[in-house]
Structure 1
Amino acid sequence: MSRNAQADLFIGLMSGTSLDGVDAVLARFPADGEPMEVLTHRHAPFAPALRDELLALTAPNGNDELHRAALAANAVSRSYADLVAQVLETAARSPKEVAALGAHGQTVRHRPGEFDGTGYTTQLLNGALLAEQTGIATVCDLRSRDIAAGGQGAPLVPAFHRAQFGQAGRDIAVLNIGGISNVSLLAADGSTLGFDCGPGNCLMDLWVHEHQGARYDADGAWAATGTVLPALLADMLAEPYFAMPPPRSTGRDLFNKPWLSRYLPAGAQPQDVQATLLELTARSIFDSLPTGTIELLVCGGGALNGALMRRLQALLPGAAVTSTTQRGLPVDQVEAAAFAWLAMRFMRGLAGNLAAVTGAAGPRMLGALYPV
C-alpha cells in the first residue's frame, strides 16, 4: 500500500477510444463518505504522431507491433505524467499529498471472452514509468481482473455513476458518449445495470477527418447539412452486436473503417453519410434505453455535439435530456473522476466492479499497484 493510503486525495487519468488526448482530475474522496469534490481538471491532446501511432495499433497490421506498442505505452505514460504535473501545479499540491492515481491507459484491443473462453483487453501504459515520473502510487490495469473473473472488463463507470448520480426512489440513466457510447441504468430500487451501446463518436470522427480534415464534427454542424440515408442506417443497425443481450462491451475492434466500408453505398454524398452516422449513434443509444426513460444525464465529448443532443431529445420526447454539468460534474471530467474513484476503491480495499454490469463471477478489487 501507499505510504499515504488513507489520504483522501486521488488523481484520475483517462484517455478514451476517441483518441483525443488525456483528461486528468484531482479529486477528494472523504473517508467519512461525504460527496466527492473535484479540485482540478486538465486536458491535453496527444501529439499528432502519437495519436497516429495509437490509431494504427488499434488494428492488427503485423509491423513489429510488440516493439511499437511498448514504445507507445511509454509515450502515453509520459503524456499522463506531464498532465499530472500540471494538475498538481494548478492545485498547489505536492505528489506526497496524493494517495494514488488511477490510470486507464489507451485501449488498443478489447476482446473479452473470445478465443480461449477468457479473452483479453489491452491498454497501453507503463505503470512503473508513470510511478517513477510522478512520484505517486499508480493503480493501473484496471480491467483485467474483471475479465479473469469471467466478466467483460467494461463498462467500469456504472459503479461510479451510481455513487455520484444515483438517487433513492428515482430512475436515472447516465450516458457517456466517447468513441464508444455506454449507458448506466441507475434504478430507483438501488440496482445498477450498464453496457456499451455501440459507436459513439468514433465513426463520425473517422468520416469527418477523412472528408474534412477535422478531428471531429464540431457541434454536429456538418452532419446537420446532410440527410439520413434510410437503407444505410437499416443495414448498419442490423449489426449483430446491437441485438446482443448484456453484459456486452465493444470498441474499435468492431466499429472501425473496414466495418463502415462494408455498408457504404456507391455515390453517397459524404455529408449524408455523416448525418446517417449521427443517427446510428442516436438510435443505438435509444434502443439501449428502457421504455419510459424520464431522465438521461449525458457526459463525454458527445455531450458537446448539439445536433446529437437534439436528436436524443427528439427520440425521447418525454424525458429530460441534460448533461452531467447541470448535476455538478462537467461532461469532460466524469471519466477521469471515475478512475480516481477506482484508485480510491483499490487503495481502501474495496471492489471496483459491479458483477451485474460486467458479468464477472463477483465483486473484485480492480487494478495492479506500482507503489512509490
Structure 2
Amino acid sequence: MKAWIGLMSGTSMDGIDAILVSFERQQIRVHATHTIDYPDDIRQRLSNLSQNRGTPDDFGELDHTTGSLFALAASSVIEKSGFPATSIAAIGSHGQTLRHQPDGSTPFSIQVGDPTLIAERTGITTVADFRRRDLAAGGQGAPLVPAFHKAFFSAVGEDRCILNLGGIANITHLPANDGAPVTGFDTGPANALMDAWCLDQTGRAYDKDGAWADEGIVDQSLLGDMLSEAYFSRQPPKSTGTERFNLEWLKVLLNRHPDLPGADVQRTLLELTAVTVAQQIPPAKGMTVFVCGGGAKNKVLMRELQRTCSPLRIASTAELGLDPQWVEPTAFAWLASQTLSGKSGNLPEVTGASGERILGAVYYA
C-alpha cells in the first residue's frame, strides 16, 4: 500500500495542515493528521509580505522558515501515524501563497515553503509548485482542488456542489450528468476579511463560531458597497486572494460608513460571504452543497448559508467521508500522486488553461 502526505496552508495564513492518506479503489483512507499553527510573528510577517510590505531578504527568510515548518508538519504526521518514512511515496506541498495575480500580461502566483527543505529533512520525495504550469498554459493556476473533487466526490445522477470556505471561498459544481463539464472558481472572500477585521478590532485571530458577528446586524449600505466590487460579476474562469480582498480594501469602504459598530462590520462581512456564494452557485434543483474548510466551523456562517442558498441543502463533506478540515491537504496528496504517475492535475474547464497538464515540480529524496 502506498501512502501519501498532503501539506496545505491557505489564504487565512493561520498554520499548516498535514495529512497522511492512502488511495484505494477511489476510496480515501486517512491514517493520521497534524496541524501546526504559525507563530504570531511569522503570521504577521507573511501578511505584511503578501501586501508588498517587505524586502527580498524577508522573502528569502520566510521561504526558509515556512519550509522548515512544513517539513516539521510532515515529520510530525509521520510520527503520529507510526508509518515508516520508507513506506510513503511522496509529499504534496501547496506551500503558503503570498501573491496570486493570474490576470494581465504577466500572470504569476508566488508561494513560500521551500520544498527542498521538506525533501531534505524528511528524506521523502516532495512535489510542490503546483500552480505555475497551469498559469503557463494560460490558466488561472487556481482553483486546483476541483480535479480532486471530481475524482472522489462525484455521483452519477446527483448534482453536488463542493464549497470550500478558506480565506477565499471557492465552489466546484459536480453535475449529475457524468458527461457534463465540471465547473469551479473562487467566489470571493470567506474567512480572510472576517479574520483580518477580528484581529484588528479585538486582537483575536478569528471569530470563534461566528459569535461576535452574531452580536451585530447587517449594514445594508456597507453591504451594497462591498457587492459593487467588480470581481463578483466577472465570469469564470476566475480566482482571487488577499491581494484584492484585504483589510485595506475594507477600510477604504468603511471611510464612507463611519462609526459603524465593530460587530456590525463583522456581521456584514459574514453576510457578504453568504450572499456572494449564493449568487454564484449554479442553479440545480435538489443539489446539496457540501462545505469544507475552516469556515465550516463558523456556526453563524453555516446558518446564513442555509438561508441564502435555500432551497439547496447545506451539509458537511463529512457526509462524503472526509472531514471538512482535511479536504484540501488530501487533495494535494492526491495531486502529488497524479504528478508522479504522469497524469494531469488540472481541469482546463475550471482554470481556463489551454489543456490538461501534469502539475508541480518534483524534488527527489
**TM-score range, shorter-chain basis?**
over 0.9
**Equivalence for 1:21:** 15
**Secondary structure of 1:39's match?**
strand
Q: One-letter code of the match for 1:267?
A: D
The match for 2:265 among 243, 266, 273 is 273
The match for 1:8 among 2, 27, 37 is 2
8 Å contact kept, 2:68–2:113: no
8 Å contact kept, 1:17–1:251: yes
**Equivalence for 1:263:** 253
**Equivalence for 2:212:** 222
- 1:211 positional shift: 1.2
Q: For residues 139 and 87 of structure 1, do their structure 2 counterparts lie closer, same or farther at Cα, with a shift above 3 Å needed?
A: same
**1:219-242 deviation digits (Å, cap 9, x = unpaired):** 111101101000100110010000
Whole-Å separation in 2 of the counterparts to 1:14 and 1:34: 21
Q: TM-score, normalization: structure 1? A: 0.95
8 Å contact kept, 1:197–1:284: yes
The question of 1:52 aligning with 2:44 is answered yes
**Secondary structure of 2:199's match?**
helix
Whole-Å separation in 1 of the counterparts to 2:100 and 2:59: 15
**Secondary structure of 2:163's match?**
strand
- 1:118 positional shift: 4.2
Whole-Å separation in 2 of the counterparts to 1:39 and 1:48: 29
Whole-Å separation in 1 of the counterparts to 2:103 and 2:191: 25
**Equivalence for 1:4:** none
Whole-Å separation in 2 of the counterparts to 1:15 and 1:354: 22
The percent of aligned pairs where both chains have the same amino acid is: 44
Q: One-letter code of the match for 2:36?
A: A
**Equivalence for 2:234:** 244
**Equivalence for 1:156:** 144
**1:14-65 deviation digits (Å, cap 9, x = unpaired):** 00001110001101023xx34121111111101111111111111113x4x2
The match for 1:167 among 140, 150, 155 is 155
- 1:291 positional shift: 2.2
**Equivalence for 2:191:** 201
Whole-Å separation in 2 of the counterparts to 1:300 and 1:119: 26
8 Å contact kept, 2:26–2:151: no
**Secondary structure of 1:333's match?**
helix
Q: One-letter code of the match for 2:50?
A: T
8 Å contact kept, 1:118–1:150: no
**Equivalence for 2:336:** 343
**Secondary structure of 1:297's match?**
strand
**Secondary structure of 1:105's match?**
strand
Which of structure 1's runs of 4+ aligned residues deviate more than 4 A? none
8 Å contact kept, 2:159–2:284: no
**1:107-131 deviation digits (Å, cap 9, x = unpaired):** 01000132xx241000012111111
8 Å contact kept, 1:118–1:148: no
- 1:8 positional shift: 2.0
- 1:95 positional shift: 1.6
Whole-Å separation in 2 of the counterparts to 1:246 and 1:317: 23
Task: List runs of 5+ in structure 2 lacking aligned partners.
Answer: none
8 Å contact kept, 2:70–2:113: no
- 1:155 positional shift: 0.2
Whole-Å separation in 1 of the counterparts to 2:283 and 2:335: 31
Q: One-letter code of the match for 1:123?
A: Q
Q: One-letter code of the match for 2:260?
A: A
**Secondary structure of 2:337's match?**
helix
Q: What is the alpha-carbon root mean square deviation over aligned residues?
A: 1.1
The match for 1:305 among 298, 304, 313 is 298
Whole-Å separation in 1 of the counterparts to 2:143 and 2:67: 22
Q: For residues 249 and 34 of structure 1, do their structure 2 counterparts lie closer, same or farther at Cα, with a shift above 3 Å needed?
A: closer
8 Å contact kept, 2:134–2:357: yes
Whole-Å separation in 1 of the counterparts to 2:360 and 2:266: 38
The question of 1:93 aligning with 2:86 is answered no
**1:189-239 deviation digits (Å, cap 9, x = unpaired):** 132110000001011001111111111111111101101000100110010
Task: List runs of 5+ in structure 1 lacking aligned partners.
Answer: 1-6
**Equivalence for 1:35:** 27
The match for 2:352 among 350, 353, 359 is 359
**Equivalence for 1:3:** none
8 Å contact kept, 1:113–1:150: no
Whole-Å separation in 2 of the counterparts to 1:113 and 1:365: 21
Q: TM-score, normalization: structure 2? A: 0.97
**1:239-259 deviation digits (Å, cap 9, x = unpaired):** 000010000000001001121
8 Å contact kept, 1:100–1:344: yes
